[in-house]
Amino acid sequence: MECTRCDGLMIADNLIDIQESSVPMWMKGWRCVSCGNIVDPLILRHRIIQQAGATRLLGTEAARPRLRHALKATA
């Protein structure tokens, strides 16, 4: 697997979440050996949701700004 941030090597890693719960929670994820980028199932799910929303938004008329006036070169 390649890192989405730096195209480096991602390795499987055991991650611990000690901030969000009273009891430390272990989960499997991926960590980049070059930049330290971490991807776990929750991060991946949120990225997929964001990409789907962005694709849907770009398909609407509101997302495409229209120029009111023609641009003129000034020199």
Considering the chain, what is the average pLDDT of its residues?
A: 77
Residue 69 lies in a domain: no
**Between 36 and 75, residue with greater pLDDT:** 36
Residue 33 lies in a domain: yes
Sign of CA dihedral 39, 40, 46, 50: positive
User: Domain for residue 2, yes or no?
Assistant: no
Q: Is residue 1 part of a domain?
A: no
Within a domain: 26: yes
- Count of the separate structural domains present in the chain: 1
How crowded is residue 10: how many other Cβ atoms within 10 Å of its Cβ?
19
Within a domain: 3: no
Q: What average pLDDT does this structure show over 48-70?
A: 65
Exposed e or buried b for every residue in 27-65, given b needs 16+ CB within 10 A?
eebbbbeeeebebeeeeeeeeeeeeeeeeeeeeeeeeee
In a domain, 71, yes or no: no
Q: Which two tokens stand for residue 52?
A: 């789907």
Q: Is the pTM of this model over 0.75?
A: no
Domain that holds residue 52: 10-62
Q: Is residue 73 situated within a structural domain?
A: no
